[in-house]
Structure 1
Amino acid sequence: MRRPLLPAALLALLLAGCAQSPDDEPSGPRWQPRPGTAWQWQLSGRLDTSVDVPVYDIDGFDHSKATVAALHRQGRKVICYLSTGAWEDWRPDSGAFPKSVLGRGNGWEGERWLDIRRTDVLEPIMAARLDMCRAKGFDAVEPDNMDGYRNRSGFPLTSRDQLRYNRLIAKLAHDRGLSVGLKNDLDQIPQLVGDFDFAVNEQCAQYDECAALQPFIDAGKAVFHVEYEVPTGRFCAESRRLKLSSLLKKYELGAWRKAC
Protein backbone atom coordinates (compact mmCIF):
# COMPACT_ATOMS: atom_id res chain seq x y z
CA MET A 1 0.00 0.00 0.00
CA ARG A 2 1.48 3.36 -1.03
CA ARG A 3 1.55 6.22 1.46
CA PRO A 4 2.35 9.94 1.08
CA LEU A 5 5.84 11.10 1.94
CA LEU A 6 6.31 13.07 5.14
CA PRO A 7 7.81 16.56 4.97
CA ALA A 8 11.56 16.74 5.51
CA ALA A 9 11.16 18.60 8.82
CA LEU A 10 8.87 15.91 10.17
CA LEU A 11 11.32 13.23 9.02
CA ALA A 12 14.13 14.96 10.92
CA LEU A 13 12.02 15.00 14.07
CA LEU A 14 11.17 11.31 13.61
CA LEU A 15 14.80 10.26 13.29
CA ALA A 16 15.93 12.51 16.13
CA GLY A 17 13.25 11.15 18.41
CA CYS A 18 14.28 7.59 17.66
CA ALA A 19 17.97 8.05 18.49
CA GLN A 20 19.12 6.03 21.44
CA SER A 21 19.96 7.69 24.72
CA PRO A 22 21.93 6.13 27.58
CA ASP A 23 18.60 5.25 29.22
CA ASP A 24 17.66 3.19 26.16
CA GLU A 25 20.55 0.74 26.37
CA PRO A 26 19.45 -2.89 25.88
CA SER A 27 18.93 -4.80 29.09
CA GLY A 28 18.55 -8.53 29.62
CA PRO A 29 18.77 -11.36 27.10
CA ARG A 30 17.27 -11.05 23.64
CA TRP A 31 13.99 -12.78 22.90
CA GLN A 32 14.53 -16.20 21.31
CA PRO A 33 11.41 -17.68 19.64
CA ARG A 34 11.39 -21.47 19.67
CA PRO A 35 10.43 -23.81 16.79
CA GLY A 36 6.68 -24.15 16.38
CA THR A 37 5.81 -20.76 17.93
CA ALA A 38 2.47 -19.54 16.50
CA TRP A 39 2.36 -16.11 14.88
CA GLN A 40 0.41 -13.55 12.89
CA TRP A 41 1.89 -11.53 10.02
CA GLN A 42 -0.06 -8.44 9.00
CA LEU A 43 1.44 -5.67 6.88
CA SER A 44 -1.69 -4.05 5.40
CA GLY A 45 -5.15 -2.97 6.48
CA ARG A 46 -6.45 -2.11 9.94
CA LEU A 47 -4.50 -4.16 12.47
CA ASP A 48 -6.55 -7.01 13.93
CA THR A 49 -5.21 -7.67 17.42
CA SER A 50 -7.71 -10.43 18.20
CA VAL A 51 -5.70 -13.34 16.79
CA ASP A 52 -4.78 -15.55 19.74
CA VAL A 53 -1.07 -16.09 19.06
CA PRO A 54 2.05 -15.13 21.02
CA VAL A 55 3.85 -13.31 18.15
CA TYR A 56 2.78 -10.48 15.85
CA ASP A 57 4.88 -9.29 12.90
CA ILE A 58 3.79 -5.78 11.81
CA ASP A 59 5.13 -2.84 9.80
CA GLY A 60 7.61 -0.80 11.83
CA PHE A 61 6.79 2.55 10.21
CA ASP A 62 3.02 2.15 10.21
CA HIS A 63 2.50 1.36 13.88
CA SER A 64 3.06 3.40 17.00
CA LYS A 65 4.68 2.77 20.34
CA ALA A 66 1.16 2.63 21.79
CA THR A 67 0.19 -0.19 19.42
CA VAL A 68 3.26 -2.21 20.38
CA ALA A 69 2.57 -1.58 24.08
CA ALA A 70 -1.04 -2.73 23.65
CA LEU A 71 0.14 -5.98 22.06
CA HIS A 72 2.61 -6.43 24.91
CA ARG A 73 -0.22 -6.04 27.42
CA GLN A 74 -1.93 -8.93 25.63
CA GLY A 75 1.18 -11.04 26.20
CA ARG A 76 2.50 -10.83 22.63
CA LYS A 77 6.01 -10.38 21.33
CA VAL A 78 6.13 -7.94 18.42
CA ILE A 79 8.38 -8.04 15.34
CA CYS A 80 9.21 -4.84 13.43
CA TYR A 81 8.99 -5.33 9.66
CA LEU A 82 11.50 -3.23 7.67
CA SER A 83 12.88 -3.40 4.17
CA THR A 84 16.66 -3.30 4.49
CA GLY A 85 17.64 -4.51 1.02
CA ALA A 86 15.27 -2.46 -1.12
CA TRP A 87 14.20 1.19 -1.34
CA GLU A 88 10.50 2.01 -1.00
CA ASP A 89 9.45 5.36 -2.44
CA TRP A 90 6.67 6.01 0.11
CA ARG A 91 8.74 5.71 3.29
CA PRO A 92 9.36 8.93 5.26
CA ASP A 93 13.13 8.53 4.93
CA SER A 94 13.13 7.68 1.20
CA GLY A 95 14.89 10.97 0.44
CA ALA A 96 17.89 9.90 2.54
CA PHE A 97 18.92 7.37 -0.12
CA PRO A 98 21.10 8.84 -2.91
CA LYS A 99 20.23 7.79 -6.44
CA SER A 100 23.59 6.04 -6.74
CA VAL A 101 22.43 3.22 -4.41
CA LEU A 102 19.08 2.63 -6.16
CA GLY A 103 19.01 -0.25 -8.60
CA ARG A 104 16.42 -2.12 -10.62
CA GLY A 105 12.84 -2.60 -9.48
CA ASN A 106 12.29 -5.71 -7.39
CA GLY A 107 8.87 -6.54 -8.80
CA TRP A 108 6.80 -4.50 -6.33
CA GLU A 109 5.52 -1.05 -7.25
CA GLY A 110 7.68 1.75 -5.89
CA GLU A 111 10.51 -0.56 -4.76
CA ARG A 112 14.08 -0.83 -6.05
CA TRP A 113 17.00 -2.98 -4.98
CA LEU A 114 19.76 -1.28 -2.99
CA ASP A 115 23.49 -1.42 -3.61
CA ILE A 116 24.31 -3.25 -0.39
CA ARG A 117 28.03 -2.81 -1.04
CA ARG A 118 27.58 0.86 -0.04
CA THR A 119 27.50 0.32 3.69
CA ASP A 120 28.95 3.82 4.14
CA VAL A 121 25.59 5.13 2.93
CA LEU A 122 23.22 2.43 4.11
CA GLU A 123 24.50 1.72 7.62
CA PRO A 124 23.42 5.06 9.17
CA ILE A 125 20.02 4.88 7.45
CA MET A 126 19.38 1.35 8.67
CA ALA A 127 20.69 2.20 12.13
CA ALA A 128 18.13 5.03 12.33
CA ARG A 129 15.37 2.64 11.27
CA LEU A 130 16.38 0.14 13.93
CA ASP A 131 16.51 2.96 16.48
CA MET A 132 12.89 3.59 15.55
CA CYS A 133 11.98 -0.07 16.18
CA ARG A 134 13.78 0.07 19.51
CA ALA A 135 12.12 3.34 20.52
CA LYS A 136 8.67 1.93 19.75
CA GLY A 137 9.34 -1.06 21.99
CA PHE A 138 9.55 -3.84 19.41
CA ASP A 139 11.14 -7.10 20.51
CA ALA A 140 12.63 -8.09 17.15
CA VAL A 141 13.06 -7.04 13.54
CA GLU A 142 12.24 -8.73 10.25
CA PRO A 143 14.62 -7.21 7.67
CA ASP A 144 13.23 -7.83 4.19
CA ASN A 145 14.88 -8.18 0.77
CA MET A 146 18.02 -9.78 2.15
CA ASP A 147 18.89 -11.74 -0.99
CA GLY A 148 19.55 -9.09 -3.62
CA TYR A 149 22.64 -10.93 -4.85
CA ARG A 150 20.37 -13.68 -6.21
CA ASN A 151 18.29 -11.19 -8.20
CA ARG A 152 18.73 -8.76 -11.09
CA SER A 153 19.48 -5.87 -8.77
CA GLY A 154 21.30 -3.65 -11.26
CA PHE A 155 24.54 -4.10 -9.31
CA PRO A 156 27.22 -6.84 -9.53
CA LEU A 157 26.45 -8.12 -6.03
CA THR A 158 28.22 -11.25 -4.83
CA SER A 159 27.43 -13.79 -2.16
CA ARG A 160 30.24 -12.25 -0.09
CA ASP A 161 28.59 -8.82 -0.37
CA GLN A 162 25.33 -10.31 0.85
CA LEU A 163 26.89 -12.12 3.79
CA ARG A 164 28.66 -8.94 4.87
CA TYR A 165 25.50 -6.85 4.64
CA ASN A 166 23.24 -9.37 6.33
CA ARG A 167 25.66 -9.71 9.21
CA LEU A 168 25.80 -5.93 9.49
CA ILE A 169 22.01 -5.75 9.81
CA ALA A 170 22.06 -8.52 12.42
CA LYS A 171 24.73 -6.69 14.43
CA LEU A 172 22.85 -3.38 14.29
CA ALA A 173 19.74 -5.14 15.61
CA HIS A 174 21.61 -7.00 18.33
CA ASP A 175 23.39 -3.82 19.43
CA ARG A 176 19.93 -2.44 20.19
CA GLY A 177 18.76 -5.50 22.09
CA LEU A 178 16.51 -6.63 19.23
CA SER A 179 16.25 -10.18 17.98
CA VAL A 180 16.56 -10.46 14.21
CA GLY A 181 15.25 -12.88 11.60
CA LEU A 182 16.86 -14.02 8.36
CA LYS A 183 14.36 -13.40 5.57
CA ASN A 184 14.51 -16.02 2.80
CA ASP A 185 18.18 -16.17 1.54
CA LEU A 186 18.07 -19.96 1.79
CA ASP A 187 21.45 -20.62 0.20
CA GLN A 188 23.29 -18.71 2.92
CA ILE A 189 21.53 -20.26 5.91
CA PRO A 190 24.52 -22.48 6.82
CA GLN A 191 26.76 -19.40 7.08
CA LEU A 192 24.17 -17.14 8.75
CA VAL A 193 22.20 -19.32 11.17
CA GLY A 194 24.56 -18.34 13.98
CA ASP A 195 24.05 -14.63 13.32
CA PHE A 196 20.24 -14.65 13.38
CA ASP A 197 17.69 -15.53 16.06
CA PHE A 198 14.94 -16.91 13.80
CA ALA A 199 14.03 -17.19 10.13
CA VAL A 200 11.15 -15.84 8.05
CA ASN A 201 10.38 -17.68 4.84
CA GLU A 202 7.96 -17.30 1.96
CA GLN A 203 6.86 -20.21 -0.22
CA CYS A 204 9.41 -22.86 0.70
CA ALA A 205 6.70 -25.51 0.29
CA GLN A 206 5.70 -24.29 -3.16
CA TYR A 207 9.31 -24.53 -4.33
CA ASP A 208 10.22 -27.66 -2.32
CA GLU A 209 12.83 -25.80 -0.28
CA CYS A 210 11.66 -26.18 3.33
CA ALA A 211 14.37 -28.70 4.24
CA ALA A 212 16.93 -25.92 3.72
CA LEU A 213 15.57 -24.26 6.87
CA GLN A 214 16.44 -27.23 9.07
CA PRO A 215 19.59 -25.58 10.52
CA PHE A 216 17.40 -23.02 12.29
CA ILE A 217 15.18 -25.74 13.76
CA ASP A 218 18.22 -27.76 14.81
CA ALA A 219 19.55 -24.66 16.58
CA GLY A 220 16.27 -24.30 18.50
CA LYS A 221 15.25 -21.20 16.51
CA ALA A 222 11.77 -20.60 15.08
CA VAL A 223 11.04 -20.57 11.36
CA PHE A 224 8.06 -18.31 10.61
CA HIS A 225 6.78 -19.59 7.27
CA VAL A 226 4.07 -18.42 4.86
CA GLU A 227 2.55 -19.86 1.70
CA TYR A 228 0.31 -17.93 -0.71
CA GLU A 229 -0.67 -20.31 -3.49
CA VAL A 230 -0.45 -23.80 -1.96
CA PRO A 231 -3.46 -25.00 0.10
CA THR A 232 -2.80 -26.03 3.68
CA GLY A 233 -3.63 -29.64 2.87
CA ARG A 234 -0.51 -29.79 0.73
CA PHE A 235 2.03 -28.36 3.17
CA CYS A 236 0.82 -28.47 6.79
CA ALA A 237 1.74 -32.10 7.47
CA GLU A 238 5.30 -31.48 6.32
CA SER A 239 5.42 -28.18 8.24
CA ARG A 240 4.41 -29.93 11.44
CA ARG A 241 7.04 -32.61 10.86
CA LEU A 242 9.72 -29.95 10.36
CA LYS A 243 8.39 -27.85 13.30
CA LEU A 244 7.81 -24.79 11.12
CA SER A 245 5.42 -22.04 12.21
CA SER A 246 3.33 -22.09 9.03
CA LEU A 247 0.50 -19.93 7.71
CA LEU A 248 -1.49 -19.58 4.51
CA LYS A 249 -1.84 -15.88 3.69
CA LYS A 250 -2.94 -13.67 0.80
CA TYR A 251 -0.27 -11.65 -1.01
CA GLU A 252 -1.46 -8.34 0.44
CA LEU A 253 -0.71 -9.69 3.94
CA GLY A 254 -3.86 -8.38 5.54
CA ALA A 255 -5.45 -9.85 8.65
CA TRP A 256 -6.71 -13.05 6.99
CA ARG A 257 -4.75 -16.17 7.87
CA LYS A 258 -5.10 -19.92 7.97
CA ALA A 259 -2.70 -21.66 10.31
CA CYS A 260 -1.46 -25.23 10.20
Structure 2
Amino acid sequence: MRSATRRPLPLSAAYLLFTGALAGLLAGCVNVPDRAPDDRPSGARWQPRPGTAWQWQLSGRVDTSVAVPVYDIDGFENSAAVVRRLHESGRKVICYINAGAWEDFRPDRSAFPASVLGRSDGWSGERWLDIRRRSLLRPIMAARLDMCREKGFDAVEPDLLDGYTNDTGFPLTAAHQLAYNRMIAALAHERGMAVGLKNDLEQIPDLVRDFDFAVNEQCAEFDECSSLSPFIKADKAVFHVEYSVPKRTFCPLAKRLRLDSMSKRLALGRWRSPC
Protein backbone atom coordinates (compact mmCIF):
# COMPACT_ATOMS: atom_id res chain seq x y z
CA MET A 1 0.00 0.00 0.00
CA ARG A 2 2.98 2.24 -0.34
CA SER A 3 3.02 5.34 -2.49
CA ALA A 4 5.80 7.69 -3.49
CA THR A 5 4.36 10.26 -1.09
CA ARG A 6 4.91 7.88 1.88
CA ARG A 7 3.75 4.14 0.21
CA PRO A 8 -18.61 -4.35 -15.27
CA LEU A 9 -18.78 -5.68 -18.54
CA PRO A 10 -22.50 -5.21 -18.91
CA LEU A 11 -24.41 -8.46 -19.23
CA SER A 12 -28.18 -8.67 -19.13
CA ALA A 13 -29.61 -7.99 -15.69
CA ALA A 14 -31.34 -11.33 -15.61
CA TYR A 15 -28.15 -13.19 -16.49
CA LEU A 16 -26.18 -11.33 -13.83
CA LEU A 17 -28.75 -12.16 -11.17
CA PHE A 18 -28.79 -15.81 -12.17
CA THR A 19 -25.01 -16.26 -12.35
CA GLY A 20 -24.45 -14.34 -9.14
CA ALA A 21 -26.98 -16.44 -7.27
CA LEU A 22 -25.61 -19.66 -8.74
CA ALA A 23 -22.04 -18.75 -7.77
CA GLY A 24 -23.16 -18.03 -4.24
CA LEU A 25 -24.97 -21.35 -3.96
CA LEU A 26 -22.08 -23.33 -5.36
CA ALA A 27 -19.25 -21.57 -3.56
CA GLY A 28 -21.01 -20.74 -0.31
CA CYS A 29 -20.27 -17.04 -0.84
CA VAL A 30 -22.38 -13.92 -1.23
CA ASN A 31 -23.54 -13.02 -4.71
CA VAL A 32 -21.14 -11.08 -6.89
CA PRO A 33 -23.35 -8.69 -8.87
CA ASP A 34 -20.72 -7.76 -11.47
CA ARG A 35 -18.31 -10.11 -13.16
CA ALA A 36 -14.80 -8.98 -13.99
CA PRO A 37 -14.75 -7.82 -17.60
CA ASP A 38 -12.90 -10.48 -19.55
CA ASP A 39 -13.14 -10.43 -23.33
CA ARG A 40 -9.90 -12.28 -23.87
CA PRO A 41 -9.60 -15.20 -26.29
CA SER A 42 -8.65 -18.54 -24.84
CA GLY A 43 -5.06 -18.51 -23.57
CA ALA A 44 -4.70 -14.71 -23.47
CA ARG A 45 -4.12 -12.84 -20.24
CA TRP A 46 -6.86 -11.01 -18.41
CA GLN A 47 -7.47 -7.36 -19.32
CA PRO A 48 -9.49 -5.31 -16.80
CA ARG A 49 -11.55 -2.56 -18.40
CA PRO A 50 -12.70 0.78 -17.02
CA GLY A 51 -15.85 0.34 -14.96
CA THR A 52 -14.54 -2.60 -12.90
CA ALA A 53 -15.27 -2.40 -9.16
CA TRP A 54 -12.52 -3.71 -6.90
CA GLN A 55 -11.43 -4.45 -3.36
CA TRP A 56 -7.92 -3.76 -2.08
CA GLN A 57 -7.08 -5.58 1.14
CA LEU A 58 -3.45 -5.90 2.19
CA SER A 59 -3.90 -6.34 5.95
CA GLY A 60 -5.85 -8.81 8.04
CA ARG A 61 -7.53 -12.01 6.98
CA VAL A 62 -9.06 -11.44 3.56
CA ASP A 63 -12.81 -11.06 3.66
CA THR A 64 -13.92 -12.86 0.51
CA SER A 65 -17.55 -11.71 0.83
CA VAL A 66 -17.21 -8.20 -0.62
CA ALA A 67 -19.43 -8.15 -3.72
CA VAL A 68 -16.95 -6.91 -6.33
CA PRO A 69 -15.43 -8.68 -9.34
CA VAL A 70 -11.75 -7.91 -8.58
CA TYR A 71 -9.65 -8.40 -5.45
CA ASP A 72 -6.11 -7.09 -4.92
CA ILE A 73 -4.44 -8.96 -2.04
CA ASP A 74 -0.95 -9.64 -0.67
CA GLY A 75 0.80 -12.37 -2.63
CA PHE A 76 2.95 -13.68 0.21
CA GLU A 77 0.34 -13.63 2.94
CA ASN A 78 -2.43 -15.39 1.05
CA SER A 79 -2.54 -19.01 -0.04
CA ALA A 80 -3.65 -20.66 -3.24
CA ALA A 81 -6.78 -21.70 -1.35
CA VAL A 82 -7.77 -18.05 -0.85
CA VAL A 83 -7.24 -17.33 -4.55
CA ARG A 84 -9.21 -20.44 -5.47
CA ARG A 85 -12.08 -19.43 -3.18
CA LEU A 86 -12.28 -16.04 -4.87
CA HIS A 87 -12.15 -17.65 -8.31
CA GLU A 88 -14.96 -20.01 -7.38
CA SER A 89 -17.19 -17.02 -6.70
CA GLY A 90 -16.33 -15.36 -10.00
CA ARG A 91 -13.57 -12.95 -8.99
CA LYS A 92 -10.29 -12.08 -10.64
CA VAL A 93 -7.40 -11.77 -8.19
CA ILE A 94 -4.37 -9.44 -8.26
CA CYS A 95 -1.14 -10.37 -6.46
CA TYR A 96 0.44 -7.52 -4.51
CA ILE A 97 4.23 -7.63 -4.24
CA ASN A 98 6.82 -4.98 -3.46
CA ALA A 99 9.07 -4.59 -6.49
CA GLY A 100 10.90 -1.46 -5.46
CA ALA A 101 11.94 -2.03 -1.85
CA TRP A 102 13.36 -4.80 0.32
CA GLU A 103 11.22 -5.89 3.27
CA ASP A 104 12.75 -7.59 6.30
CA PHE A 105 9.54 -9.51 7.02
CA ARG A 106 9.37 -11.42 3.72
CA PRO A 107 10.53 -15.05 3.49
CA ASP A 108 12.89 -14.25 0.59
CA ARG A 109 14.65 -11.37 2.38
CA SER A 110 18.02 -13.17 2.37
CA ALA A 111 17.95 -13.46 -1.43
CA PHE A 112 18.73 -9.75 -1.80
CA PRO A 113 22.45 -8.87 -1.84
CA ALA A 114 23.43 -6.10 0.57
CA SER A 115 24.72 -4.09 -2.39
CA VAL A 116 21.17 -3.47 -3.70
CA LEU A 117 19.76 -2.18 -0.40
CA GLY A 118 19.45 1.57 -0.07
CA ARG A 119 17.85 4.02 2.33
CA SER A 120 14.61 3.46 4.22
CA ASP A 121 11.48 4.09 2.18
CA GLY A 122 9.81 5.49 5.29
CA TRP A 123 8.26 2.23 6.46
CA SER A 124 9.71 0.12 9.22
CA GLY A 125 11.91 -2.72 7.97
CA GLU A 126 11.96 -1.53 4.35
CA ARG A 127 14.76 -0.20 2.16
CA TRP A 128 14.77 1.03 -1.41
CA LEU A 129 16.32 -1.22 -4.06
CA ASP A 130 19.01 -0.25 -6.53
CA ILE A 131 16.95 -0.90 -9.63
CA ARG A 132 19.99 -0.28 -11.82
CA ARG A 133 21.14 -3.78 -10.81
CA ARG A 134 18.60 -5.57 -12.94
CA SER A 135 20.73 -8.69 -13.41
CA LEU A 136 20.68 -9.19 -9.63
CA LEU A 137 17.05 -8.28 -9.08
CA ARG A 138 15.56 -10.08 -12.08
CA PRO A 139 15.78 -13.65 -10.66
CA ILE A 140 14.41 -12.50 -7.29
CA MET A 141 11.44 -10.76 -8.88
CA ALA A 142 10.95 -13.67 -11.26
CA ALA A 143 10.69 -15.99 -8.27
CA ARG A 144 8.09 -13.72 -6.68
CA LEU A 145 6.06 -13.71 -9.88
CA ASP A 146 6.40 -17.49 -10.09
CA MET A 147 4.82 -17.60 -6.63
CA CYS A 148 1.92 -15.44 -7.84
CA ARG A 149 1.38 -17.67 -10.87
CA GLU A 150 1.61 -20.89 -8.87
CA LYS A 151 -1.02 -19.63 -6.43
CA GLY A 152 -3.34 -18.94 -9.36
CA PHE A 153 -3.35 -15.14 -9.45
CA ASP A 154 -4.60 -13.45 -12.61
CA ALA A 155 -2.48 -10.32 -12.34
CA VAL A 156 0.23 -8.56 -10.36
CA GLU A 157 0.43 -5.22 -8.59
CA PRO A 158 4.17 -4.47 -8.23
CA ASP A 159 4.56 -1.65 -5.71
CA LEU A 160 7.11 1.18 -5.58
CA LEU A 161 7.78 1.51 -9.28
CA ASP A 162 8.80 5.16 -8.87
CA GLY A 163 12.00 4.99 -6.84
CA TYR A 164 13.75 7.46 -9.14
CA THR A 165 11.54 10.25 -7.72
CA ASN A 166 12.60 9.43 -4.14
CA ASP A 167 15.70 9.68 -1.96
CA THR A 168 16.75 6.06 -2.35
CA GLY A 169 20.49 6.42 -1.72
CA PHE A 170 21.19 5.63 -5.37
CA PRO A 171 21.53 8.00 -8.37
CA LEU A 172 18.46 6.62 -10.12
CA THR A 173 17.21 8.24 -13.32
CA ALA A 174 13.99 8.11 -15.27
CA ALA A 175 15.74 5.86 -17.79
CA HIS A 176 16.68 3.38 -15.04
CA GLN A 177 13.06 3.34 -13.88
CA LEU A 178 11.66 2.77 -17.36
CA ALA A 179 14.02 -0.16 -17.94
CA TYR A 180 13.22 -1.72 -14.57
CA ASN A 181 9.45 -1.26 -14.89
CA ARG A 182 9.46 -2.80 -18.34
CA MET A 183 11.45 -5.73 -16.99
CA ILE A 184 8.80 -6.31 -14.31
CA ALA A 185 5.99 -6.06 -16.87
CA ALA A 186 7.73 -8.51 -19.18
CA LEU A 187 8.27 -11.01 -16.35
CA ALA A 188 4.56 -10.91 -15.53
CA HIS A 189 3.51 -11.27 -19.15
CA GLU A 190 5.88 -14.20 -19.66
CA ARG A 191 3.91 -15.95 -16.92
CA GLY A 192 0.54 -15.18 -18.50
CA MET A 193 -0.46 -12.59 -15.92
CA ALA A 194 -1.63 -9.03 -16.36
CA VAL A 195 0.39 -6.34 -14.60
CA GLY A 196 -0.54 -2.94 -13.20
CA LEU A 197 1.52 0.24 -13.14
CA LYS A 198 1.55 1.52 -9.55
CA ASN A 199 1.61 5.32 -9.36
CA ASP A 200 4.66 6.56 -11.44
CA LEU A 201 2.41 9.10 -13.12
CA GLU A 202 5.15 10.95 -14.96
CA GLN A 203 6.07 7.87 -16.99
CA ILE A 204 2.55 6.79 -17.94
CA PRO A 205 2.89 8.01 -21.55
CA ASP A 206 5.97 5.80 -21.95
CA LEU A 207 4.60 2.78 -20.08
CA VAL A 208 0.89 2.57 -20.90
CA ARG A 209 1.58 0.05 -23.68
CA ASP A 210 3.64 -2.15 -21.36
CA PHE A 211 1.06 -2.37 -18.56
CA ASP A 212 -2.48 -3.73 -18.56
CA PHE A 213 -4.03 -1.44 -15.93
CA ALA A 214 -3.01 1.17 -13.37
CA VAL A 215 -3.23 1.34 -9.58
CA ASN A 216 -3.14 4.80 -8.08
CA GLU A 217 -3.15 6.32 -4.63
CA GLN A 218 -4.18 9.90 -3.91
CA CYS A 219 -4.26 11.40 -7.39
CA ALA A 220 -7.16 13.63 -6.31
CA GLU A 221 -5.31 14.83 -3.22
CA PHE A 222 -2.36 15.91 -5.36
CA ASP A 223 -4.40 17.09 -8.36
CA GLU A 224 -2.90 14.45 -10.66
CA CYS A 225 -5.84 12.31 -11.81
CA SER A 226 -5.86 13.59 -15.37
CA SER A 227 -2.39 12.06 -15.79
CA LEU A 228 -4.06 8.63 -15.72
CA SER A 229 -6.17 9.34 -18.82
CA PRO A 230 -3.85 7.45 -21.22
CA PHE A 231 -4.90 4.20 -19.54
CA ILE A 232 -8.59 5.02 -19.90
CA LYS A 233 -8.09 6.02 -23.55
CA ALA A 234 -6.42 2.63 -24.08
CA ASP A 235 -9.50 0.95 -22.52
CA LYS A 236 -7.47 -0.16 -19.49
CA ALA A 237 -8.82 0.09 -15.95
CA VAL A 238 -7.49 2.56 -13.40
CA PHE A 239 -7.96 1.28 -9.84
CA HIS A 240 -7.81 4.34 -7.59
CA VAL A 241 -8.04 5.09 -3.85
CA GLU A 242 -8.04 8.17 -1.68
CA TYR A 243 -7.28 8.18 2.04
CA SER A 244 -8.15 11.66 3.25
CA VAL A 245 -10.03 13.53 0.51
CA PRO A 246 -13.81 13.23 1.06
CA LYS A 247 -15.83 11.31 -1.51
CA ARG A 248 -17.97 14.33 -2.29
CA THR A 249 -14.79 15.97 -3.56
CA PHE A 250 -13.11 13.22 -5.57
CA CYS A 251 -15.97 10.98 -6.74
CA PRO A 252 -17.41 13.45 -9.30
CA LEU A 253 -13.92 13.80 -10.79
CA ALA A 254 -13.33 10.05 -10.74
CA LYS A 255 -16.62 9.37 -12.50
CA ARG A 256 -15.90 11.99 -15.13
CA LEU A 257 -12.48 10.45 -15.80
CA ARG A 258 -13.88 6.88 -15.60
CA LEU A 259 -11.61 5.84 -12.74
CA ASP A 260 -12.63 2.91 -10.51
CA SER A 261 -12.38 4.75 -7.23
CA MET A 262 -13.02 4.31 -3.52
CA SER A 263 -12.06 5.60 -0.11
CA LYS A 264 -9.82 3.37 1.98
CA ARG A 265 -8.09 3.65 5.32
CA LEU A 266 -4.30 3.65 5.12
CA ALA A 267 -4.04 0.21 6.76
CA LEU A 268 -5.87 -1.23 3.72
CA GLY A 269 -8.04 -3.61 5.68
CA ARG A 270 -11.52 -4.80 4.73
CA TRP A 271 -13.25 -1.41 4.96
CA ARG A 272 -14.01 0.34 1.67
CA SER A 273 -16.37 3.08 0.56
CA PRO A 274 -16.68 3.15 -3.25
CA CYS A 275 -17.81 6.04 -5.39
TM-score, scaled to structure 1:
0.89
- Aligned residue number for residue 156 of structure 1: 171
- Aligned residue number for residue 90 of structure 2: 75
Task: Report 1:80-159 matches (<5 A).
Answer: 80-159=95-174
Confirm or deny that 1:202 pairs with 2:217: yes
For the residues of structure 1 that align with 2:126 and 2:217, how far apart are their CA atoms? 18
- Aligned residue number for residue 187 of structure 1: 202
Report the 3-state secondary structure (helix = DSSP H, G, I; strand = E; otherwise coil) of the residue aligned with 1:226: strand
- Aligned residue number for residue 249 of structure 1: 264
Identity of aligned residues (%): 71
The Cα shift of 1:228 comes to: 0.4
Task: Report 1:33-48 matches (<5 A).
Answer: 33-48=48-63
Q: 1:26-62: per-residue Cα shift (whole Å, max 9, x none)?
A: x701100001210000000121111100000000000
Which letter does structure 2 place at the counterpart of 1:146? L
- Aligned residue number for residue 234 of structure 1: 249
For the residues of structure 1 that align with 2:180 and 2:61, how far apart are their CA atoms? 33
The Cα shift of 1:120 comes to: 1.2
Report the 3-state secondary structure (helix = DSSP H, G, I; strand = E; otherwise coil) of the residue aligned with 1:95: helix
TM-score, scaled to structure 2:
0.85
The Cα shift of 1:136 comes to: 0.2
The Cα shift of 1:182 comes to: 0.2
- Aligned residue number for residue 60 of structure 1: 75
Report the 3-state secondary structure (helix = DSSP H, G, I; strand = E; otherwise coil) of the residue aligned with 2:204: helix
For the residues of structure 2 that align with 1:124 and 1:172, how far apart are their CA atoms? 10
Report the 3-state secondary structure (helix = DSSP H, G, I; strand = E; otherwise coil) of the residue aligned with 1:200: strand
Report the 3-state secondary structure (helix = DSSP H, G, I; strand = E; otherwise coil) of the residue aligned with 1:134: helix
- The alignment yields a C-alpha RMSD, in angstroms, of 1.0
Report the 3-state secondary structure (helix = DSSP H, G, I; strand = E; otherwise coil) of the residue aligned with 1:36: coil
Where structure 2 has 5 or more consecutive residues not aligned to the other structure, the ranges are 2-41
Which letter does structure 1 place at the counterpart of 2:215? V
Report the 3-state secondary structure (helix = DSSP H, G, I; strand = E; otherwise coil) of the residue aligned with 1:28: coil
Which letter does structure 2 place at the counterpart of 1:61? F
- Aligned residue number for residue 237 of structure 2: 222
The Cα shift of 1:167 comes to: 0.1
For the residues of structure 2 that align with 1:247 and 1:105, how far apart are their CA atoms? 29
For the residues of structure 2 that align with 1:199 and 1:91, how far apart are their CA atoms? 25
Report the 3-state secondary structure (helix = DSSP H, G, I; strand = E; otherwise coil) of the residue aligned with 1:235: helix
Task: Report 1:2-13 matches (<5 A).
Answer: none
Report the 3-state secondary structure (helix = DSSP H, G, I; strand = E; otherwise coil) of the residue aligned with 1:79: strand
Which letter does structure 1 place at the counterpart of 2:246? P
- Aligned residue number for residue 30 of structure 1: 45
Report 1 or 2 for greater relative contact order, CA contacts < 8 Å, sequence distance ≥ 6.
Answer: 1
